[in-house]
Amino acid sequence: MENQSTHWMTETLETVQWFVFLLASAVALPIVIGSLFGLSFPEVAGLMQRTLFVVGAASFLQGVIGHKLPIMEGPAGIWISIFAVMAFSGKQNGDTYMETLQVLEGTMLWTGLFLVLFGLFKLSHRVLFVFTPFVTGAFLFMLTIQLSGTFLEGMLGLQEGAEGIDGTDAWTAFVTLALVLGLSITGRGWMKSFAVLIGISAGWVLYEIAVPAQGAESTAVEWFALPEVFAWGPPAMTLGTLPLGLITAVILLSNLVASVIAVSQTIYGKPRYTYDQINRGSGFLGLNHGLTALFSAVANVSLASSSGFMQLTGQKRKQPFLYASLLLTGLSLFPPVVRFISSVPAPVANAALLATFVQLMGLGLSNLTMEPLDQRKLTILGLSFLLGIGLMFLPPDVFTGLPGVLQNLLSNGLLIGTVLVITLNQLWKEPN
């Protein structure tokens, strides 16, 4: 009886920790999108609800029917880049923000359609030969570089037009980061297993002590509400965004493969997957893009950071992950609950996410160095990193005047860098 009680308690705590990770990975980006497009507070709150609903549903579908691994489906860094660029280019073309968001809905549908076709016709696994450990490692490295700036801005309180570093945000964030990493490295037993949960809880308490809650306006909120369908209006599937949808779908395949490899390597000690698993994952990734467009949110992808979370905590079982996904979906239907769980301080959430990306970058570097880095590989990496990462630092307005398709492509450093690594690695063959 005692063993059964202990098992139930462990599973409950693991579910809660997965839930906190899912939540922390999802809450920041709706706020970023809201500031990009000038959305009002009620619109951002609605976007938050729809995002949490879709994240939970998409993660559960992939875990049960798709690739069947405990990999979170969350808002993608590559899509944040696309949203940011199209917000700027749409404004330059005289489109309203809502018109641009409708075009983005259409772009997500194009991408989802291609991913479904790749999976349905079993084409996804046919491109696996290009995703060598070398390519996967380069992708993971650039992914962590791209998102590290966003996390650091959140930790320092530099988001939403802040003029300088917020001292309170910074110290609570770095205490959280140190606590999560410290417990994951030196902790024993349950303290190591629940490092993320302990770190976020402690960081949240410290933040509330340092920054007493302000008297928020009291507004009437429904206790139960279904997420709104096509909240931004009907999708606009323009031919101009079709090439972007295709290229994004191909890059997302590399993201899917990298995530499956990273998580399977964490669970089994080595990469382990089947062609059918990749094709199913691609098909459901496409369906999840359709689900995201339907509920007007940021498209989800399989987050490789799930492996970093698993390495930090030692949690490798799928059941708590599935419970957490259902819990997130269910709680998103209750707006007061959404408001409460979304009140996790941004510096604390970003610090916990940065801790998981420490492990992810380590995995990327490990893949890169599986084989000796000769002059050929170093040249490919050097050129791809310099151009891809360099593009991440350029403001979107430098591409003004170029055709819309080129603007959307060239302003996405992760996409360009990944394409360069794949292309050069295939064209420049190793000497016999």
pLDDT per residue over 306-321, tens digit each? Answer: 888 888 788 888 999 9
pLDDT per residue over 183-215, tens digit each? Answer: 888 877 667 767 777 888 889 899 988 887 654
Confidence of residue 160 (pLDDT cuts 50, 70, 90): low
Measured in degrees and rounded to the nearest 5, phi and psi for residue 411 equal: -85, 0
Give the whole-number percent of the chain exceeding pLDDT 70.
Answer: 91
Choice among 66-75, 254-263, 276-285 with the minimum mean pLDDT: 254-263
**Backbone region of residue 142 per phi and psi (left: phi > 0; alpha: psi in -120 to 50; beta: other values):** alpha
CA distance 149 to 33: 16
Distances (CA, A) of 338 to 4, 55, 130, 227, 358: 32, 13, 41, 12, 29
Cβ proximity of 390 and 153 under 8 Å? no
Distances (CA, A) of 72 to 52, 301, 308, 364: 12, 8, 12, 18
Mean pLDDT, the chain, whole residue set: 84
Confidence of residue 359 (pLDDT cuts 50, 70, 90): confident
CA distance 386 to 323: 42
Q: Average the pLDDT over 98-114 and give the result.
A: 93
CA distance 299 to 112: 9
Specify the length of the chain in residues.
Answer: 432
Beta pairing partners, 302: 73
List % helix, strand, coil for the chain (3-state, nearest 5): 75, 0, 25
Choice among 31-35, 61-65, 227-231, 256-260 with the minimum mean pLDDT: 31-35
| Helices and strands (DSSP H and E) totals, the chain | 17, 2
Three-state SS at 20 = helix
Give the whole-number percent of the chain exceeding pLDDT 90.
Answer: 30
Task: Say yes or no to pLDDT of 155 above 80.
Answer: yes
Task: Say yes or no to pLDDT of 333 above 50.
Answer: yes
CA distance 94 to 77: 26
CA distance 45 to 30: 9
CA distance 28 to 231: 19
CA distance 19 to 156: 25
Count other C-beta atoms under 10 Å from residue 386's C-beta.
12
CA distance 300 to 282: 12
pLDDT per residue over 26-57, tens digit each? Answer: 876 776 677 668 777 788 788 889 999 999 99
CA distance 177 to 354: 7
Task: Say yes or no to pLDDT of 283 above 60.
Answer: yes
Cβ proximity of 396 and 411 under 8 Å? yes
Q: Which two tokens stand for residue 66?
A: 């798709």
Q: Average the pLDDT over 373-398 and give the result.
A: 90
Count other C-beta atoms under 10 Å from residue 316's C-beta.
14
According to the model, what pLDDT value does residue 215 have?
47
According to the model, what pLDDT value does residue 216 have?
47
pTM of the model: 0.77
